[in-house]
Amino acid sequence: MSPLEPIALIYEREGLPRFELPLELHRLYGGDFGLPERSVYANFVSTIDGVVAIPALRRSNRLISDDSEPDRFVLGLLRACADVVLVGSGTLRGSPNARWQAQEAFPPAASSFAELRRLLGRVGEPEVVIVTGSGSIDPAHPALREGALVLTTARGAATLEGQLADTSQLVVLPGSDRVDPRAVVDFLRSRGHERILSEAGPTLFGSLASAGLVDELFLTVSPLLAGRSTLEPNLGLVEGASLLPSRRLGGQLLSARVHGSHLFLRYRLERAS
């Protein structure tokens, strides 16, 4: 994204939190930005027809976003505000070189992201947390070699015993096939993490959202159609959780921005009823 092309504001609800943003971040975002002091917020990029992941393809989010630099900038901004970045095993497999750092998402703003973290009183990078029920993750992944927190079940812990680098920590939480999402958030809160960014895929996000644990959703809508196949199905925003028609989980639009043909939407999620 050219530094002369900020994202344009279409609509923003009054009364949203506002951080003291470095000037370059304020300019690129097209205005103010902030988050509640204590929140779980999720980020996704979706095609027009609602596809957020192509399981058969590594780094499918880059394809789905149409290689959008503004999308990567927003992701970097969200990471810069976080105490912790939460990913699932599917996201880990699909991102073989990721470390989930702000400057990795959008290198041109690296110094501004670091300044924002200083202004927010955050030291170093957000902690990377990997959630896996089965323990089927690659211990050689760069994020694990450099140090990550792995939250798993007793079954997953048995699978991973002795495989993780000393820099990473393994924690057993309740759950049989899947880790209990409430236990995940409670554990992260116990470590002092106030702002939790979920970059988890649609299955873990579905479990978090259906449990009423996600406060806000940042959704980039890319101007692409992905389509679906019965042989290799693409994934929507929520997988593994049934909502409509029995449960209603809605969102209140907080802001809408545009860059070219990409939409940047921010929702406050209601609790499922």
Task: Please write the tens of the pLDDT for every residue from 117-133.
Answer: 999 999 899 999 999 99
pLDDT attached to residue 199: 97
pLDDT attached to residue 151: 97
220: Cβ contacts below 8 Å, ≥ 6 apart: 43, 44, 45, 46, 65, 68, 71, 74, 262, 263, 264, 265
Quote the CA–CA distance of 128 and 28 in Å, as a whole number.
26
Quote the CA–CA distance of 39 and 81 in Å, as a whole number.
11
pLDDT attached to residue 273: 61
pLDDT attached to residue 271: 73
- The domains of the chain, with CATH numbers, are 22-224+251-269 (3.40.430.10)
Quote the CA–CA distance of 255 and 257 in Å, as a whole number.
7
Low-confidence ranges of the chain (pLDDT < 50): 1-2
Structural tokens at position 53: 């992941």
